[in-house]
Amino acid sequence: MLRRTSAAFLTTVTATTLASAIVPAGPAAASTPAPLACPVEETYDPTSISKGWFATAASSAWLAGPGSISYAETEGASFSGTFSVGWTFSASAVWASVSTEYNVSLTASTTYSKQWTYTKTVPDGKTARAVVHKRGAKYTFNKHRINTNCSTSSSYNGSGSHPYRANSLSEYCIALDTFPATDFQATTGGCTDH
């Protein structure tokens, strides 16, 4: 026997089901702005340069004058540069900035091997040695940094002493070095006895 369901019952059930399925929306959550962030960027500012010649590892023994130093040895005239910096830095970025500012190309170290032959006269009253020199430069620089929070900071008084990247024989010379030893001769020309 079939039962008839009244339209009124269906209407009541449907209305009740829909009412229970609809959940009132609460207030929209307040959006929080993302913290300000900047990409870290470091730049270098060269502040001075002194061009000249560095004493390499190729040298004679010291001689008290008067006398003559005659030298004929096959060896590598090597020089390794140094930094004096109290903060982190990029050597390649520093050299790039020095190159742009002063039109020089620097590197960490150089060596040139050949038979070095020379005669040097040491005057009376002097003690000296003969030294193979490599062309290079001493320089100073600062660092400027943009931090992730977009603030800026600077670091000062970094310095470096490095040979020029060019490494042909013309980048070397032989000079008399009077005691005490001189590690760098500042000059824009050729090296001379000193």
Show the low-confidence residues of the chain (pLDDT under 50).
1-23
**pLDDT at 14 (0 to 100):** 40
**pLDDT at 32 (0 to 100):** 61
Pairing relation of β-strands 63-64 and 152-163? unpaired
Question: Which residue in 76, 90, 81, 66 sits closest to 136, CA to CA?
Answer: 81
**Whole-angstrom distance, CA of residue 95 vs CA of residue 105:** 7
**Whole-angstrom distance, CA of residue 67 vs CA of residue 51:** 31
**pLDDT at 34 (0 to 100):** 57
**Alpha helix (H) ranges present in the chain?**
7-21, 91-102
